[in-house]
A and B are shown apart, each in its own frame.
Chain A
Amino acid sequence: MSFLFPAGFLLSALALPIAAMYFLRIRRRRVRVPSLMLWHAMQRSERLASPFDRFRKHLLLLLQLLLLAVLVLALTRPYLQTEAAAFRSIVLVVDTSASMGAVDEKPTRLGAAREKAAEILGDLGPSDEVMLIEAGPRTEVRVPFTRDEAQVENALSGLEVTEAEGGLREGLQLGLSLARSRPDVEVVVLSDGAGEDLSSLPTGGAKVTYLRIGKKDDNAGILALDLRRSPVSELDRQLFVTVEHYGNESVDATVEVYLDDELVGLRNERLTARAPVSMVFDVDGSRSGVLRVELDVPGDLLPADDTAYAVLGAVSARKVVLVGGDALTARVLRADPRVDLKLASPASATPASLAGADAILFGAAVPEGMDGLNYAVLSSKHGGPAELGDPIDLPRILGWQRTHPVLRFVDLNGVTIARAASVGNTAGLAPIVDGDAGPLILAGERQGGRVVQLAFDPFQSDLPMRVAWPVMILNTVGWLTEETAGASDALLLPAGAPYFRKITGAGDNVTVRGPKGDAGATVSDGTLRVVETDHVGVYRVKGGGVDVSFAANLLSEKESRIAPLAALSLGEDTEAAAQASVVSGRRELWRPLLAIGLFLLLLEWLAWNRRATA
């Protein structure tokens, strides 16, 4: 044992005045007694009594001297030197992903991580530095390198467990890169490992200590959720749910589906270990509201993955505007009962007048400012976002993406095109039909809207004469409106992922109400961004011309598999085995000494009180 402040031992001299004051106490009460004869006799017998009685007589003094000794010892700041260097820098990486909300540690794994972090802080010397990094859905340096333990403690208590997939890898990567600025840095990871693959992460020689949080693996969770149109009826929906149990034994599970708190589906399943079970629930398409799926498994340790949400919008016809355009296309569109077609003249077609449409098909020139809207340019004559150049005669079709929704069931074999335009800048669109001289059809997303652009005039080809044309037109409308017509209302977002949406109105009065109250939203360039989607639930965006809800769900195998990792496998073939605590360093003893001192003070008070009231 060594001492940081050995001069404190000088204060032991205080024992003299304490003893002097004890024996020279002048405030003794004078009491007249008939004779001292018997008191003397008692004292003589007392001297013959056991030495313990004499010790008891001076118990107060003994306790006071003991208390002084303990306080003096605490003041000298004794410590036990272990294997660490005299000066240390520690980077604390605390995992706040959903799996840290498991309740196998009390109160949660994050709570246990906080306690371990506090222990580490308690062991730090005055010249040691510490940094705190939160590795949640977003990686954040909560406290840069500091010697102020209180600041780190405050930040620790401010950490909250999220219901989103975590980025331990990013957190550790950040910690390791920041660690390079200091020599002798120790990166301490407080996590359950959460199934992260860290093998490609170079440690750069820094020491990584993995403090494993968590004990058990009994957890079942909802792994997948989707809401689709029913194959039987255009107007009905089907809810697909996949659940899995990650414990070692089979369990009985109940899956309940509520639509606005009304039970609309119930399934009891026996879940065997690590075997996903999928189930389908039929949902009446005429209704709208919030679908809530609840998984109930006894002894489940992680609540975040036991509930999932989907927003169900009523099925409605898709508003499609055909600007200009030919009679054939108009007829194809009218033939689809799901399409509510409006014809517009090229003169009246402005971005403002077209904003309410789910999809716009241009058979005329595309006006400026169409960003964020879903539209298709049906001829190279009408412009479009991709830059078109010199004409190409008789281009041959080399291939097309058969899996692209626009080209589903479309056969372009043998299509003859008389003339096409060469494509310069594709403006972010991807070619889905390639010709021998460049792309012939492009499709893609641009600033929140979907765009399909033809690089040739179909009426200079035999395409409209083929079955492929109406199929492609209806596919195009289907793809363009996929997000906004009916099914798009069921937008499912992974918790923690940002939500973007184009808005048309002013952005100042947009509010986003999430499951835990207001979720911050920012609007810039006409795009709304919601970043704080860390909790599972329904978020409602209101204002700025929109009133839409979306659901955020965990749906993460990585988080639902809560068994803590025995070791973190890091790059360069290093491995950080799980440890119970950070063993290196200097362990100061003043805190336990102070606790002993307080206990002695209590004893002294009790002894005094007992004597005073006896």
Chain B
Amino acid sequence: MLLSPELLKKLAALTLRSNKRGSGVRVGERRSQRRGQSQEFADHRPYVPGDDLRFLDWHLYGRLDTLWVKLFEEEDDRVVQVLLDCSTSMEGEKLDYARQVAASLAFVALGHNDRVTVAGLTDAVASYAPPRRGRSASNIVFDTIEAVNPGGKSDPGKALASFPRQRGTGIALLFTDFLYPEGPDAALRNLVARGNEVHAFHIVAPAELRPAVDGDLVLVDAESGEELAISVDEATLDRYETTVHAWAEEMEITCRRLGVGYTRVLTSTPLEEFIFKDLRRVGVVGR
């Protein structure tokens, strides 16, 4: 069970905020860029032959003696893409935390009739679940998220190149540790180019900031198996910590430059505190 019933109850009160209008294909709860047949009036336009006579504004005709057609806002649904980095570097607490946040936000999206799709990314699309809508789909979505297993190298840029295009645009939520040898640019550009509003969640384990190691060591890269002989002392750890902070800031700058939302979270942060306080503060969710 990814999320407790109590948490789900609290999540039901949240909405997933977006700065863009979606362009879904079904009449959803959110306004679409296309005018359609919903109840909300948008504008008038002059009648041209062939227009549906049901939308003629007879009151206006009575006053102006001119034929005008009423236009309505078409209420649209969104595609929320939950993208989980499941490379080997995410193994352990980072992926667990990412799964929980992803499931929470997916549940919020499903509660507002958004279509939610889930994908696990390494250097390819490791797993993929097609879009689903409605609260009833939440169990399937949760199962899909839970089934995302770690393994493989990190290269989401390459993976997204083969990721199926979704109809319409929406929100892409990327859960990752940004430990990409090739850098995050390619992946982020790909998502932004698809017209998505992209938000990256940088998952960081506390042990990554200052590893609890010392002495003469051989460090083994979990993904590539590459080895590095190194003598670690307090001074080395100080320098490493400085390097990690500088790199994380660089990731944030890269995201902001590409118009991607960025939120860094330590896996030691309680889940509810992160969702109900941190994410509300940065405007990812709201009531």
Contacts and interface: CB of A to CB of B under 8 A. Distances in A.
A32 B92 CA distance: 13
B233 A39 contact: no
A478 B221 CA distance: 115
Contact of A30 (B205, B218, B236, B244): B218
Interface in A13-31: 25, 27-31
Interface in A34-51: 34-43, 45-46, 49
Interface residues of B, number: 39
Contacts of B213: 31
Given A42-B239, A42-B243, A614-B214, A57 B219 contact: no
A46 B239 contact: yes
A612 to B, nearest CB: 7
Contacts of B181: 35, 37
A35 B180 CA distance: 9
A38 B216 contact: no
A593 to B, nearest CB: 30
B217 interface: yes
A35 B221 contact: yes
A106 interface: no
B89 A614 contact: no
B24 to A, nearest CB: 37
**Contact residues of B: prevailing secondary structure:** mixed
A34 B177 contact: yes
A56 interface: yes
A28 B221 contact: no
B224 to A, nearest CB: 8
Contacts of B217: 28-31
B89 A34 contact: yes
B6 interface: no
A37 B216 contact: no
A414 B230 CA distance: 123
B142 to A, nearest CB: 26
Contacts of B179: 34-35, 37-38
A57 B231 contact: yes
B211 interface: yes
A38 B215 contact: no
B218 A31 contact: yes
A33 interface: yes
Given A41-B247, A42-B243, A33 B233 contact: no
Interface string B230-262: 110111100110011001000000000000000
A46 to B, nearest CB: 6
Contacts of A28: 216-218, 229
Contact of A614 (B223, B229, B233): B233
Contacts of B186: none
A76 to B, nearest CB: 33
A185 B227 CA distance: 71
A436 interface: no
A108 B2 CA distance: 87
B234 A31 contact: no
A40 B224 CA distance: 14
A611 B215 contact: yes
A33 B205 CA distance: 12
B231 A36 contact: no
A373 to B, nearest CB: 94
A260 interface: no
Contacts of A53: 235
Nearest to B239: A42
Contacts of A57: 231
Given A612-B215, A614-B233, A30 B220 contact: yes
B67 interface: no
B51 interface: no
Interface string B73-93: 000000000000000111100
Contacts of B221: 33, 35-36
A33 B218 contact: no
B40 interface: no
A36 B240 contact: no
Interface string B18-60: 0000000000000000000000000000000000000000000
A614 B236 CA distance: 10
Interface residues of A, number: 28
B214 to A, nearest CB: 6
B250 to A, nearest CB: 10
B243 A27 contact: no
Among A29, A35, A46, A53, the one with the most B-chain Cβ atoms within 10 Å of its Cβ is A35
B214 A36 contact: no
A39 B240 contact: yes
A34 B228 CA distance: 13
A45 B213 CA distance: 20
B107 to A, nearest CB: 28
Contacts of A612: 214-215
B208 interface: yes
B273 interface: no
Contact of A29 (B91, B215, B227, B247): B215
Contacts of A30: 217-218, 220, 227
Given A29-B215, A32-B222, A38 B228 contact: no
B65 interface: no
Given A25-B216, A31-B213, A39 B228 contact: yes
Contact of B243 (A25, A35, A38, A614): A38
A35 B223 contact: yes
B218 A41 contact: no
A36 B228 contact: yes
Contacts of B222: 32-35
Contacts of A31: 211, 213, 217-220
Nearest to A57: B231
Interface in A358-383: none
B73 to A, nearest CB: 47
A54 to B, nearest CB: 11
A49 B217 CA distance: 22
Nearest to B180: A37
Nearest to B230: A39
B235 A36 contact: no
Contacts of B247: 38, 41
Nearest to B181: A37
A45 B216 contact: no
Nearest to B232: A614
B175 to A, nearest CB: 15
Contacts of B239: 42, 45-46, 49
B243 A33 contact: no
B235 A33 contact: no
B157 to A, nearest CB: 15
B38 to A, nearest CB: 48
A33 B220 contact: yes
A34 B85 CA distance: 13
A38 to B, nearest CB: 6
Interface string A234-256: 00000000000000000000000
Nearest to A49: B239
A45 B243 contact: yes
B253 to A, nearest CB: 16
Contacts of A33: 211, 219-222
A19 to B, nearest CB: 15
5 contacts: A27-B216, A31-B219, A42-B243, A45-B239, A53-B235
Given A28-B218, A30-B218, A614-B214, 12 more contacts: A29-B218, A31-B219, A32-B220, A34-B89, A34-B91, A34-B208, A36-B228, A37-B179, A38-B243, A43-B230, A57-B231, A611-B215
What 5 pairs across the A-B complex have the smallest Cβ distances? A34-B89, A35-B179, A614-B234, A36-B221, A42-B243
